[in-house]
């Protein structure tokens, strides 16, 4: 495992990449309503990234043995947990959609996902959104120098479990920097007080994926789309952060309006 600590100069670049990701989310929130297609969201984000001189690290992303990812963002609706491919699907009132956005700018990556309600959603759907977002904040509270990786996973899993929700096993959080996925891999479940110690200069994308029911998932034939096996809802929240010398992490993909 090779964890790459970032210098101040590198952090400055990651701030800019993260800021562009946050701008893209603001654009998405501005147009997200019943009737829009997920492909329209993809085009909107792709154009903004391009205009600002960036690229999407998702587009063409191809881990060994996988078909290249065909879009700039992921749009994961309802029972789709992650890696939903934008297309002609029209978002309906009552849907929930995770919009996952990555940007490479000046050689550094920002990565952030947020799950949004489309119009008015059922109480059980908004409850899931609320708790899944809280899972992210619970993990970020643990993301301080000298804490351990297991503290993050335990915080996510503990909070989800208290509300009767599941946490994915197959996918987790990750280091991020020059590449979208750097060491370490960070499970979204685990045991507090175990695992690697966090150090200032570590940059990570923390992304709990929370299911309303069973945490088991399946991959669709397109080779990307991950769905819950029981067909129940799922939500996903992600920020790119930097571990600071003392206290709270710096959120590099901090929300902007
Ligand atoms: N936030 C996701 C991740 O970290 C984005 C990857 S989507 C992909 O895995 F399509 F590029 F795989
Ligand atoms: Co990520």
Confidence band (pLDDT; 50, 70, 90) for 26? very high
Query: Which is the closest atom of ligand 1 to the Cα of 176?
Result: 4
pLDDT digits (tens, 9 = 90+) for 207-225: 999 999 999 999 999 999 9
pLDDT digits (tens, 9 = 90+) for 114-161: 999 999 999 999 999 999 999 999 999 999 999 999 999 999 999 999
- The domain locations on the chain are 8-60+72-251
pLDDT digits (tens, 9 = 90+) for 228-239: 999 999 999 999
Confidence at residue 41, expressed as pLDDT on a 0 to 100 scale: 98
Confidence at residue 1, expressed as pLDDT on a 0 to 100 scale: 80
Residue 213 per-residue DSSP state: S
DSSP reduced 3-state for 209? strand
Exposure letters 189-220 (e unless 16+ CB within 10 A, then b): bbebeebeebeebbbbbbbbbbbbbebebeee
pLDDT > 70 fraction of the chain, expressed in percent and rounded: 100
Measuring from atom 6 of ligand 1, which residue has the nearest CA? 58
How far is the centre of ligand 1, averaged over its atoms, from the C-alpha of 74 (Å)? 7
List ligand 1's pocket residues with C-beta within 6 A. 58, 61, 69, 74, 83, 100, 102, 111, 113, 174, 205, 207, 238
Q: Which CATH number fits domain 8-60+72-251: 3.30.750.24, 3.40.50.450, 3.90.230.10, 1.10.10.60?
A: 3.90.230.10
Query: Which is the closest atom of ligand 1 to the Cα of 181?
Result: 4
pLDDT digits (tens, 9 = 90+) for 27-36: 999 999 999 9
Measuring from atom 10 of ligand 1, which residue has the nearest CA? 58
First to last CA, the chain: 37
pLDDT digits (tens, 9 = 90+) for 163-196: 999 999 999 999 999 999 999 999 999 999 999 9
Ligand nearest to the CA of 205: 2
How far is the centre of ligand 1, averaged over its atoms, from the C-alpha of 214 (Å)? 22
Structure tokens belonging to residue 254: 């901090």
């Amino acid at each position: 495992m090779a964890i790459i600590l970032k210098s101040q100069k590198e952090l400055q670049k990651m701030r800019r990449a993260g800021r562009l990701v946050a701008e893209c989310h603001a654009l998405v929130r501005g147009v997200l309503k019943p009737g829009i297609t997920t492909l329209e969201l993809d085009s909107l984000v792709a154009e903004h990234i391009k205009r600002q001189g960036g690229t999407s690290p998702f587009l063409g992303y191809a881990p060994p043995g996988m078909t290249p990812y065909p879009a700039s963002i992921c749009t994961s609706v309802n029972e789709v947990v992650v890696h939903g491919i934008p297309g002609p699907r029209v978002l309906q009132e009552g849907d929930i959609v995770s919009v996952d956005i990555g940007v490479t700018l000046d050689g550094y990556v920002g990565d952030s996902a947020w799950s949004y309600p489309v119009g008015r959603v059922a109480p059980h759907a908004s409850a899931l959104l609320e708790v899944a977002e809280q899972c992210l904040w619970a993990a970020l509270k643990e993301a301080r120098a000298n804490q351990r990786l297991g503290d993050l996973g335990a915080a996510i899993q503990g909070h989800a479990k208290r509300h009767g929700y599941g946490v994915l096993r197959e996918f987790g959080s990750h280091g991020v920097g020059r590449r979208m996925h750097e060491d370490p891999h960070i499970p979204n479940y685990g045991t507090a007080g175990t695992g690697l110690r966090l150090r200032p200069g570590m940059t990570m994308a923390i992304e709990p994926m929370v299911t309303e029911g069973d945490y088991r998932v399946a991959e669709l034939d397109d080779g990307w789309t991950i769905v819950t096996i029981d067909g129940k809802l799922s939500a996903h929240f992600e920020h790119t952060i930097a571990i600071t010398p003392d206290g709270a992490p710096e959120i590099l993909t901090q929300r902007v309006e």
